Structure 1
Amino acid sequence: MPYLFTSESVSEGHPDKVADQISDAVLDAILAQDSESKVACETFVTTGLVVVGGEIHSSAYINLDKLVRQVIDDIGYNRSEYQFDAKSCGIISTLHEQSSDIRQGVERESVESQGAGDQGMMFGYATNETENYMPLTLELSHMILEEMAALRKSGKVMKYLRPDSKSQVTLEYTDTHQPLRIVSIVVSTQHDDTIGDEKQMQTRIEKDLKKHLIPKVKKRLPKHLSAMLMDKNIQYLINPTGKFVIGGPHGDTGLTGRKIIVDTYGGKGAHGGGAFSGKDPSKVDRSAAYATRHIAKNLVAAGVADQILVQVAYAIGKAEPVGLYINTYGTAKVEMSDQEISAKVEKLFDLRPGLIIKRLGLKSPIFSPTAKYGHFGRQPGKIEVANSKGRKKKYETFTWEKLDYVKKIKTAFKLK
């Protein structure tokens, strides 16, 4: 039977995403100076105030005030009428030294013996419904907000847009899990109080979205998927509650780590519960989630199955995982049980934390770009970062999205 599935995304100006971006900016600034740093940085934002707290063990020094204000300004909170802006907001720091009890469970003489920074289970997921092996519902939700942010920052059209926004896409799938049609697109966007009453506002934003934004999203999709956006039966729900003038941290408080489903797979697959932003890679909540995505994506790309979920679990201070689980949802293209697939994966990928970090280059200051529009499905690239002495160095980003194990997997599973 066909079924409906929905995913949402939130913009970089959403309060929780503001908090995530600050936390990861702090992490990157510290890692740029001291790659061995241990960081657990949490951020709280509300009307006119940013509170940064957490535990850090590092030799690095950062100008927290300057860093936080730069992040807020880059997002677009630079007008006093927002009641949260880069120039005037208060900034409070409660950062302190990391517990030595935790650190002794992580630090080891060799990379191979490094222990997990915490217990827990982490999941990675991939599906072949899109070219980047992500669920289409989430991809479309992210794309809508990315393109809307680009329009806002260009200042050429839709000049009334403000930074805070959300999107949601509902698709109908066939009983074989193939995207069939877009049922509805929901967009709630903050805007200036200058575009008429609620009905006029909704009509204008919908018209502008269809004219300026949807064509940009279409260009980013392959033809068979972009055609869905031409369907005249799509229901557009624009700012369903009415006007949306008060937003951002003034409209709602924001906290690091509250958008874990937006950050991952939009509700597909599974989630272990741990957030990512502000955490150095010794925290397996982050590094192992990246590693399992890397595994799942390469397995699907190699043709092992149409969709795959990978789970790994750890005990704090221990290097070897306590469990590895794989679910192909009955879509396996090889004559093996999921348990047999899991056994082969264990031989192909070393999931000890130290080796994950080494394999994916996670001691680098590469995390700020992950704090908006999802940690997965992104294009690997390079970023240039300056250290405290102003020396710039290039680092690889989104290494967990590389398809660098496809050949090895095909050989192991005897696939052509």
Structure 2
Amino acid sequence: MKATLDDVKVVLTRKESFTCLSKVVVFLVIFALGVVAGLWAATGPRQYYSSYTSILLPSTTTVYRGGGGGGGRSVGCRPGVEVGFAEFVAPTRLMHDMSDEQLFWRATMAPASGAFPFERVPKVAFMFLAGRGVLPLAPLWERFFRGHEGLFSVYVHAPPGMVINVSNDSPFYRRQIPSQETSWGSVTLMDAEKRLLANALLDFSNERFVLLSESCIPVQSFPTVYGYLTGSRHSFVEIYYNQNKQCRGRYSRRMAPDITLPQWRKGSQWFELSRDLAVRVLTDTKYYPLFRHHCLPSCYPDEHYLPTLLNMLHSERNSNRTVTYVDWSRGGAHPATYGAADVTPDLIQRIRTSQNPCTYNSRPTSTCFLFARKFSPDALEPLLNISSTVILY
């Protein structure tokens, strides 16, 4: 290019007469060379500059990608979506392609610094195990949550491929987590519960974690539930031992010596955990495999794993009771189901105020239950009719 410009310069400096046509040709050549030089300056250097600044000055947002078995795919959000700091500490997009192993590893990470570089308001994670893929009592829960945004998070484990049908302003909207098939009485139910815990732990503001079913209702107002859980020094996992086939008879001697019969416990599936205990559950690689291999029907991992684990390792952190009321007075393999005809102010008041006092932060209290089950879909309308006057939401 330089040689061509020099040749033109020589031609122009010659003291020879040019015809009009010659002058036009020379002018066009110079103009064309100028255009080419301008384009090169505008594109070539910028491309090199851009490639270097992307290395030296990376974006303030990061796309998190999986390694190892992840195949380099984006994890934690949809592929190609950049994740900023706010999304990292409190994910709003719950769908991801992490395996359980990757998810549990990610969820149990904890910052070394005790201080948070953001304003952290403790939240309660409400985790719904919706085995049928529906939430018939969602309108009642929506009324319960209304006006308390920022103090709670919602997570739903439904069968794969099923979408919870709610409006886009519902607290349940787009709150489904990646799920797998479950079957009653198998270890897959406990897998689902751990999956809910792990996804909820991704939000650094979640401090308490309560497991619920699609047939559960809140029997206290949101402020009461929130204050009760965030103010508690203990978790709420029911733990007991009976000399009968429903407890002692489910123990497998193949679990010894890691789990012995005197250490074996039973309890309600419906638990509530503090953040530190939720992390400890997910990091347990010693005892959970024993339940996977040896707790088979008629042994049910969801009724034995957490009670046994917490009794062995963290009994001082637990209240040994559940905050979810279940009526077993009618006998049988399943608890009583409340239909529309059963819903009365008296029923709710009896559940809200326990006749058998329990302890809260080591002091006696009559407020023992925050939730109750099992309520059928046709109970929704009478529950809505009394919610504002009786349940106070």
TM range (shorter): under 0.3
Q: RCO higher in 1 or 2 (8 Å CA, sep ≥ 6)?
A: 1
Which has a greater percent of strand?
A: 1
Structure with greater Cα Rg: 2
Higher helix share: 2
